A and B are shown apart, each in its own frame.
Chain A
Amino acid sequence: MRTPIFLLVWLAIGAAVFGVSLAIGNDYIFFAGYVVLQYVVLSTAWNILGGYCGYVNFGSAAFFALGAYSTVAIYKLITENDFYRMPMPVLMLIGGLVSGLVGLGMGYLTLRLRGAFFAIATLALAVVLQTLIVNWDFVGGSRGAYIIRPEQIWPFGNYIRYLFLIMLLLAIGAITVARLIEHSRLGYGFATIRDDELAAEASGVPTLRLKLVATTISGALMGMAGAPFPYYIGYLQPSSTFGLDYAVNSIAMPLIGGTTSWVGPLIGALLLGSLQQIATVTISSAVNLLIVGFLLVTFVIIAPNGIVGLIHTYLQRKPEDFVGRRHVEADVPGQVP
């Protein structure tokens, strides 16, 4: 499928989702759906670096939080003084820019490191950024910052519907970008890095440049996902915005869904995100993290290629068995009298 058609199909699906949500008429759908969509973006973004290149980023929360805090900074700078509210897409672009730049910087600093060292460095980066934010009083410091969300917005009514729509569009954008990368020279370059970086470099793949592209895109998408968050949550606080649950979810979702294609993070995020929303309401928010932990451990042990991998083997098993049997049958007459 060509990219424009792919995009159109997804826009149609998105329109249908938005229409159905409107038809249900309960705004809670938008509140819950927003979080699920946010995870679609986060896990797709994580997968561009983690799944395609094989570099584990534990610092997703930091990029997400940077996007959120750039919105807070703009809010404090402009909106509180001049009562001018920047349009959300602009805020998202700024958030994406900030996180993308930090991603690029992180890449320069850490991508000479391989495997575990890179992962630990990203974790370190997240804590350093958190400490900076905690000590930066302008954006609220450790006390946190309040963002006053407009009640209504024309033509949608409740503001949350608008946020939901924006996140829906961003999610569609993210999976389109992921798919585009997958089927391009860039994606093949990423795959060579994942499979054997040394061999890739020896065959002339510009690994460092590709990795920088990956960290930048991945970081920028996470930042864009974070930018509307202050408006969603109303009160932003460093310890929850940098919370480990963003980091674990953005890793668990692609790994549970499957890391090799854009479908995996999407499935993982939709499944795990909805499951968590249901568990939070029906059981408790601590238990839902426990579920994520258990699912993550189970999946990496039992189904290393995630749900997509399971479906793949299931679909391929039958024809293969069939072909295999035919081969045996074809060979048998010649050997057995």
Chain B
Amino acid sequence: MIFSFDLLINAIVSGILIGGFYAAVTSGVSLSFGILDIVNIAHPAFIILGSYVAYAANSSLGIDPIIAAIVMMPAFYVLGAGVYQVYYASFEKRGQESLRGLAFFFGLLFITEVSLVLYFGVDYRYVDAPYIGPSWHFGILDIPMRILVPFLVSMLLMAALQIFLTRTFIGRAIMAVAQDQLALRLMAVDPIKIKRIAFGISIATASLAGAFLIIIQPVEPSVGREYIGRVFAICVLGGMGSLPGTVIAAMLLGVVESLTSTFYGPSWAPAVSFGFLLLTLAVRPAGLLGR
């Protein structure tokens, strides 16, 4: 029984750590889907793009993937702002965002994924960094550094985002755009500009999340699909647009997934997140910390 107790503790701890990483992955969707009501199902594809950018910088120049991702964040921001501009001009302005907007992002997902396949091939890629090999032994605990480092940086990212959203003018304007666009306009703020900034930030987080992903596991272009369900499950479970809710839901999911794969086998793990999602949608669509 001692053995399985060890296993249990380790599964829970690694679940929490992985959950922190899931929170970073989901933060972008919390912004776009949770706050702006833009169903960006292509978000995981942008994350994979981030992984490959980190991979390219790491393999050719030897830069640390996280630093490379931070350097690339402005480029992702611009990409996001551009995507939003197209989305706004072709769907939101015409009031056709539901069906065709979804199809638009679905198409983007496909284009990104297939382009990556054509350029990099379908081999698994990985990065090199000093913290990837070793792990920390702490009594019965066994914490791989490759999960701990993304966890810590993720928590920093989430804290920074939360402070940005609650303490700065633009952050508050982003929260306001979700509630009442007209009122925002009356305060002499351009809601479209605010949404563009928010969407840009949401894609910028994908750069960092992509770097985390490729640090944690080897990446190939279609890995992103597994994350579609996960990010939306976390986003809905945490309560739309609530970052603290996102963190809690992400850790919950991480722990449940980790327990499932430890005790039932990894092939069941994908069903967990989606099962969670279906259950949340059926039972409590507002999520844990819903508005």
Residues of chain A having any CB pair with chain B under 8 Å: 50, 54, 56, 58, 109-110, 112-113, 115-117, 119-121, 123-125, 127-128, 130-132, 134-135, 142, 244, 248, 251-252, 255, 259, 286-287, 289-290, 292-294, 296-297, 300-301, 304
B267 touching A290, Cβ below 8 Å: no
A293–B87 Cα distance when bound, in Å, is 16
Range of interface residues on chain B? 35 or more
Most A-side CB within 10 Å, residue of B33, B106, B270: B106
* CB contact between B233 and one of A110, A124, A290 (< 8 Å): that residue: A124
A56 touching B103, Cβ below 8 Å: yes
A142–B236 Cα distance when bound, in Å, is 30
Nearest chain B CB to A211's CB is how many angstroms away? Answer: 15
A294–B106 Cα distance when bound, in Å, is 11
* CB contact between A128 and one of B108, B118, B267, B275 (< 8 Å): that residue: B275
Interface string of B64-98 (1 = CB under 8 A from A): 00000000000000000000001000110010101
Interface residue B278 (Cβ < 8 Å from any Cβ of A): yes
B285 touching A113, Cβ below 8 Å: yes
17 contacts between A and B (CB under 8 A): A50-B99, A54-B98, A56-B99, A109-B278, A109-B282, A116-B33, A117-B281, A124-B277, A125-B278, A127-B274, A293-B110, A296-B106, A296-B110, A297-B111, A300-B107, A301-B90, A304-B96
CB-CB under 8 A from B274, the residues of chain A are 123-125, 127-128, 131
A110 touching B281, Cβ below 8 Å: yes
A115–B101 Cα distance when bound, in Å, is 11
Instruction: Specify the main secondary structure of chain A where it touches its partner.
Output: helix
Using known A-B contacts A109-B282, A110-B281, A124-B274, determine if residue A116 contacts B107 with beta carbons closer than 8 Å: no
A255–B115 Cα distance when bound, in Å, is 22
Interface string of B105-120 (1 = CB under 8 A from A): 0111111001101100
* CB contact between B229 and one of A124, A255, A286, A296 (< 8 Å): that residue: A124
A127–B228 Cα distance when bound, in Å, is 10
* CB contact between B99 and one of A54, A123, A125, A297 (< 8 Å): that residue: A54
Q: Which chain B residue lies CB-closest to A284?
A: B118
Interface residue B268 (Cβ < 8 Å from any Cβ of A): yes
Residues of chain B having any CB pair with chain A under 8 Å: 33, 39, 41, 86, 90-91, 94, 96, 98-100, 102-104, 106-111, 114-115, 117-118, 222, 225, 228-229, 232-233, 236, 267-268, 270-271, 274-275, 277-278, 281-282, 285
Q: Which chain A residue lies CB-closest to B271?
A: A131
CB-CB under 8 A from A252, the residues of chain B are 103, 107
A54–B103 Cα distance when bound, in Å, is 12
6 nearest A-B pairs in the assembled complex, by CB-CB distance? A293-B110, A131-B271, A297-B107, A296-B107, A124-B274, A116-B39
Q: Which chain A residue lies CB-closest to B94?
A: A304
A110–B277 Cα distance when bound, in Å, is 11
